[in-house]
Structure 1
């Protein structure tokens, strides 16, 4: 019968890319680790890992098992925390998965309100670059609650948070107000790195205006984009809620508006702790 320990061994080997490093991290001998993986493979009915000279690679069967292994380990950890909380040994931990831009813009006010409500409950954030990564991580059991663009065909509970508004930071603008993105078609933009969710938002907004944006610079850091734009490197498009109150760069609102829907979602009915956080999130959703 498959054990949680065997699933932990599999996940650790995959994450470390090496039996040797995994054995060191797990504080077991490499032969013992290899033996347990072989036992798991016999129970699964085939090879889960391909042993390469300098690394390991998941087989198709291993790729199918991995997300379920991660989910089982995450559920076991939540069960452990719940039991310890019930016994008074700890106050609990809530795990949230989100996007980098949302942790900058939406979450600070919500987390401040949550801190006032449940000071002893720790928050662990898992931040992702793209909504598809967030969706996959949530399916794999990474967190209790996800906050981001609503995934398509989500079968679990989902709470609508509203529309996130995007603004243009244009160093050449002489006044605030509205801007037609078509007027910026010939400019070079402060863009985002490939795979970053905001790169997709910018590309789609410009495509709707009839052009493909040229990149003057691409950044991985959401918070860096408005700073680079204000420094004169070109316009950029960012969620309005990531701008600090002290930001004094030229902020314009696209016409027509550029928005993105946001939602909170779980895999199943939320437990009382997650439900309490969702209540706080909905009460503070004016930040969206």
Structure 2
């Protein structure tokens, strides 16, 4: 079987554009030429991938099965080309870093600042996701060169632990009968309302697990997908928020508490294969520079409880 990456690109473009006419315009080729290439791909794969309708195209069952593999193959090829250029000493282009929304807010800025001092011409493209499972799937599909996130179970490639992310409880000033910096049993917060997260966010699982271990389900006040929004909502008195301590800025003037038992999330940096020299430099930078629990949080709450 001979399937070219160019044919996969043609197939993906037709799907994304919704028609052969628009896809041909995007690709800068004739519509008959594009149709010929898709037909050749369908012959190689053993059946039709697209149903030609009067004003649009629709994926066949075979097409729906083939599409994610086509996207993954194209992404792998692009990442391999980029890695080869970097390994050859070409220090321009992009490094694609997969991560979670909360980590791109709290953990990455310092490490990226350090790393870019050595590679100022190399751009960074953050590929961000709300849930750990989406991040792992994207890495497996070749959507990024390196990932920074919760330690993935049973990862086959290189993986280095960079620290443990501590979660804190944020609230409006004087919203709770506890002094700022206190360690509070989760069970004592069962009657409180919480800023919850959308089901799509992995932070939703963390809040549900923390409350569930204390024997209650969190009472919902509002849902958000972003931990930064949860912090603002908690400061405004909308409800309590459980969130990574590293996203809390030094000037936060609300109440911060440490949950008991502690809520911790191990973080790692990982790749699919042995990283090229520039990607390895990024791994080293984030391993050295990452401060998972920042000093202004430990000043308020004391050293993290393991």
Give the structure-2-normalised TM-score.
Answer: 0.85
Q: 1:132-167, CA deviations, whole angstroms, 9 ceiling, x for partnerless residues?
A: 111111111101001111222221111112211000
Question: Residues 137 and 84 of structure 1: is their aligned pair in 2 closer, same or farther, counting only changes over 3 Å?
Answer: closer
For structure 2, the 5+ residue unaligned runs are 294-306
Q: Highest Rg: 1 or 2?
A: 2
Cα distance, 1:237 vs structure 2: 0.5
Q: 1:66 to 1:180 in 2, by over 3 A?
A: same
> In 2, Cα distance between the equivalents of 1:196 and 1:277?
26
**Where in structure 1 are there 5+ consecutive unaligned residues?**
none
Match of 1:10, SS? helix
Separation (CA, whole Å) in 2 of partners of 1:237 and 1:66: 38
Distance 1:160 1:86 in 2: 24
The corresponding residue for 2:113 is 112
Partner of 2:123: 122
| Matched-pair contact (CA < 8 Å) for 1:70–1:142 | no
Structure 2 counterpart of 1:101: 102
The answer for the alignment partner of 2:272 in structure 1 is: 267
Q: Secondary structure at the match of 2:269?
A: strand
In the alignment, is residue 228 of structure 1 matched against residue 233 of structure 2?
Answer: yes
Mapped contact 2:100–2:132 kept (Cα < 8 A): yes
Q: Deviations over 1:145-192 (max 9, x none)?
A: 011112222211111122110000122135121111212212221111
Which residue number corresponds to residue 134 of structure 1?
135
Structure 2 CA distance for partners of 1:14 and 1:152, relative to 1, 3 Å = farther
2:291 is paired with a residue of what secondary structure?
helix
Match of 2:152 in 1: 151
Partners of 1:179 and 1:58 in 2: CA distance:
53
Once the two structures are TM-superposed, the CA of residue 56 in structure 1 deviates from its matched residue by: 4.9
SS of the residue 1:287 aligns to:
coil
The CA deviation at 1:194 is: 1.7
Residue in 1 aligned with 2:10?
9
Pair 1:165–1:60, CA change in 2 (3 A) = farther
The number of aligned residues is: 288
Q: How does 1:69-84 map to 2 (within 5 A)?
A: 69-81=70-82
Report deviation, 1:223: 1.0
Q: Name the Cα RMSD after superposition.
A: 2.4
